[in-house]
Amino acid sequence: MTEISQFRFPTDIRFGVGARSVLAEFGRKYKLRQPLLVTDSGLPQTEAFRLVVKEADRVWPGRCVQFTGVHANPTDQDVEDAWRAYVQGGCDGVIGLGGGSALDAARALRLKVAFPNTALLDMPFNELPPLVPMCAIPTTAGTGSEVGRSSVITIRKIGRKAVFGAQPMMAEMAVLDPELTVGLPPNLTAWTGMDAMTHAIEAFVCPVFHPMCDAIALEAIHMVRLYLPRAYADGNDLEARGMMQVAAAMGAVAFQKDLGAAHSLSHPLSSEFGIQHGLANAICLVPVMKYNKEVSAAQYARIAQCFGINTFGMSDTEAADKAVEAVVELNGRIGIPSSLAELGIKESQLPMLAKKAFEDPCHTANPRPCTEKDLLMLYREACKQ
């Protein structure tokens, strides 16, 4: 072991029913007079929004400014507009509320506050000063964006999504309040939950030395397996909702290691056909696990144990097969279709998708290397499962 590893888990996470009340502490700690609440246009109709705004109004009566213009795939224009609202409102801190898009835009907005005349991609990522304080409040349990340090923003000038990040972009505080996810419908609960599962499984098997993340990934797998079917069956099950929020944050902490081929396969399915990210992951994860089994059987055997399978007396390969079966079974229990064909994906579209999946960097961390041809084969498998 000659390489120097870096292990960091710095986010201050507050978890529990009603945890949104820590906004008061957030305000006190950073002496905020006038924060900007950043969210997407779909959120103001939700109960989660109402609950958080009520809390913000209690802490900053009439002074919490709102920006509700973040798009599902946020652009640099969204960040620009949020920044304008921030400046016009005389704001001094950020509350990001929503799914991954809103939290990504909120994180990027803080760069713009620090460097108003610099384009997002030209920010001095290696020497960022401390940014204005941010509290991240997720309303889904999947992306784990609240503990992330990067943003995915579509840059209009280059016409594609760019991923950029740095340690100071992490939120100062993340608030996991199960009451804010009870309104998620069963399908989105299942899809976002399987995104968390895919993060944990891909992070665990990716060949980066990080035993601390590995432990977190294994517990996240165990928790998703236990609580996702419950949250799916009964959206008001606050214990299951809460445990899914924690598992999602853990999955995202674990993938500071990296991800894998399922995410590379899933990204073009979302960008080309609008298939929800977690749904695409849930389907693609199965062929990727079968493909990786050859090199990751021992890790998959441990994953099988997290699914409650007694692997005593089994070879690693047998136990790995059980892990794949367990993912298939979980998908079935939470209403996830077993193939991409069921989502309308056609064989003739697969070569184009495989080309884009190969350009996506996630598969470079996959334990078994993938060529474009391998990714095409994996898509074919995902189509016919």
* CB nearer Fe ion, residue 172 or residue 195: 195
Least Å from the CB of residue 310 to Fe ion = 30
Taking the C-alpha atoms of residue 162 and residue 160, their distance in angstroms, rounded to an integer, is 6
* CB nearer Fe ion, residue 73 or residue 305: 73
Query: Is 172 a binder of Fe ion (CB under 5 A)?
Result: no
Binding track, positions 222-241, relative to Fe ion; x by CB under 5 A: --------------------
Least Å from the CB of residue 163 to Fe ion = 12
Stretch that binds Fe ion, among 53-61, 129-137, 189-197, 205-213 (CB under 5 A): 189-197
Instruction: Name which of 49, 166, 159, 168 is nearest 97 in CA terms.
Output: 49
Least Å from the CB of residue 262 to Fe ion = 9
- Radius of gyration for the alpha carbons in the chain, expressed in angstroms and rounded: 20
Instruction: Name which of 109, 100, 159, 161 is nearest 134 in CA terms.
Output: 109
Contact with Fe ion (CB under 5 A) among 172, 195, 214, 321: 195
* CB nearer Fe ion, residue 265 or residue 375: 265
The amino acid occupying position 295 is: V
User: In Å, how far are 83, 187, 193 from 306, measured between CA atoms?
Assistant: 44, 24, 16
Taking the C-alpha atoms of residue 197 and residue 226, their distance in angstroms, rounded to an integer, is 11
* CB nearer Fe ion, residue 40 or residue 195: 195
Q: Which residues contact 66 (CB under 8 A, 6 or more apart)?
A: 36, 37, 39, 53, 85
Least Å from the CB of residue 33 to Fe ion = 36
Taking the C-alpha atoms of residue 377 and residue 354, their distance in angstroms, rounded to an integer, is 9
* CB nearer Fe ion, residue 254 or residue 326: 254
- Residues that bind Fe ion (rule: CB under 5 A) add up to a total of 1
Least Å from the CB of residue 199 to Fe ion = 6
Q: Are 164 and 79 in contact (CB under 8 A)?
A: no
* CB nearer Fe ion, residue 195 or residue 360: 195
Least Å from the CB of residue 198 to Fe ion = 6
Least Å from the CB of residue 148 to Fe ion = 10
* CB nearer Fe ion, residue 53 or residue 284: 284
* CB nearer Fe ion, residue 152 or residue 319: 152
Q: Return phi, psi of residue 69, to 5°.
A: -105, 20
**Residue closest to Fe ion (Cβ):** 195
Stretch that binds Fe ion, among 19-27, 174-182, 188-196, 329-337 (CB under 5 A): 188-196
Least Å from the CB of residue 267 to Fe ion = 9
Stretch that binds Fe ion, among 182-190, 194-202, 233-241, 346-354 (CB under 5 A): 194-202
Interface with Fe ion by CB under 5 A: which residues? Answer: 195
